Amino acid sequence: MTVDAPNPAAALLAANRRRRRIRRWIAIGTLPLTLAALLFVGKLLSMYAFAHQAITAYVVDDFSGSEASARGQEFLNWFEPYKAPFNVGTALGAAEHLPAARAKLEEALELAHGLEVCGVRINLALVIERQGDAARADGDGASAAEFYGEALTVTLETPEECNSDDAQQQSSDPQRDMEKSLEDTKDRLKQKQQEEQQPPPPQEEEPQEQEPQPSEDKLQELQDKLEQGTQERDQQQNGDDPGGSGTDKPW
């Protein structure tokens, strides 16, 4: 009985088939991780792109374009979730859409953590202050004072850490001195709130114009004329003829 020698070519083919099968299963098993990695990278790139577009549009006063770009950050907002509503609210505030801007910035404040709250609080206080200015321009002093009080509360509740160098480095506006901005906003709001709470000054009554009174000489002249007229009338009624033959003159 003889044993056939193994066929090297057949063994090689079988080994290649096993390797291909293993690679295929490895590819299938790692496919979710690959897709997740691609999505991660794509999201990062899109976030940077939308953020850059939002900033660029804001700088050139294209607030509607800035808002549209910022809203692009809201999709799958995993990284720095406060940034999308913060950028949207800032653009809306610059466009004077104050109630909508305030709502977005308040949303951003709830999502912010640590030093992220510093810039959010500054912009939120500025938007509420503008609401107060608008109410004052409409003659609604009570609402204006209320808005100024709310903006002052937002400013006073800003953490002390927001005055640090680390907070300045993380600011969305590096040219703005965060500590000085907070102090200026606080002082300005206090002054505006006091102005609206003070009672209005009493209105001065305009003096009534008095009719001019005649002088003493004028009064004496009028009296002399009245007396002279009375004497002439008496003489006409009595007649000047001694015999009384003249006819009466009509009065």
Q: What CATH number is associated with residue 72?
A: 1.25.40
Q: Which domain holds residue 151?
A: 115-197
- The span from the CA of 95 to the CA of 144, in Å, is 20
Count other C-beta atoms under 10 Å from residue 232's C-beta.
10
- Of 112, 142, 170, which residue constitutes the final position of a domain? 112
| pLDDT number for residue 168 | 86
Residues 154 and 102 in one domain: no
Q: Which residues of 163-190 are buried (b: 16+ CB within 10 A; e: fewer)?
A: beeebbebbbeeeeebeebbeebbebbe
| Same-domain check for residues 100 and 139 | no
Residues 57 and 120 in one domain: no
Q: Tell me the C-alpha distance between 222 and 104, whole Å.
A: 83
Phi, psi of 77 (to 5 degrees): -80, 75
Q: At what angle do helices 141-156 and 116-137 cross, to 10 degrees?
A: 170
52 vs 101: which has the higher pLDDT: 101
Percent of the chain with pLDDT over 90: 32
| Residues 86 and 105: beta-carbon distance below 8 Å | yes
228-245: pLDDT as tens digits: 666 666 555 555 444 444
Domain boundary among 61, 84, 112: 112
Is residue 142 domain-shared with residue 99, that is, in the same domain? Answer: no
DSSP single-letter state for residue 171:
-
Residues 6+ apart with CB under 8 A from 88: 67, 70, 71, 74, 104
Indicate the number of domains in the chain: 2
Identify whether residues 80 and 130 lie together within a single domain.
no
Query: Does 166 reside within a domain?
Result: yes
Last residue within a domain, chosen from 78, 112, 146: 112
Task: Tell me, yes or no, whether 126 and 191 share the same domain.
Answer: yes
Cα separations (Å) of 16 from 11, 45, 49, 64, 158? 9, 40, 45, 60, 66
**Is position 5 within any domain?**
no
Is 162 inside any structural domain?
yes
Q: Is residue 224 part of a domain?
A: no
Neighbours of 149 (CB within 10 A): 18
Q: Which two tokens stand for residue 6?
A: 């193994």
- Predicted pLDDT at 61: 63
- Of residues 90 and 14, more confidently modeled: 90
In a domain, 230, yes or no: no
Same domain, 127 and 85: no
* Distance from C-alpha of 236 to C-alpha of 185, rounded to nearest angstrom: 93
Q: Where are the alpha helices (DSSP H) in the chain?
A: 8-59, 63-71, 83-94, 98-111, 116-137, 141-156, 165-169, 178-197, 216-238
Could you tell me if residue 158 is inside a domain?
yes
User: Residue 170: inside a domain, yes or no?
Assistant: yes
Is 107 a member of any domain?
Answer: yes
Chain mean pLDDT for the chain: 75
pLDDT tens for 48-67 read 555 556 566 656 666 676 77
- The pLDDT score that the predictor gives to residue 106 is 96
Q: Residue 5, SS3?
A: coil
The answer to whether residues 91 and 125 belong to one domain is no
- Which pTM value belongs to this model? 0.62
One domain for residues 139 and 84: no
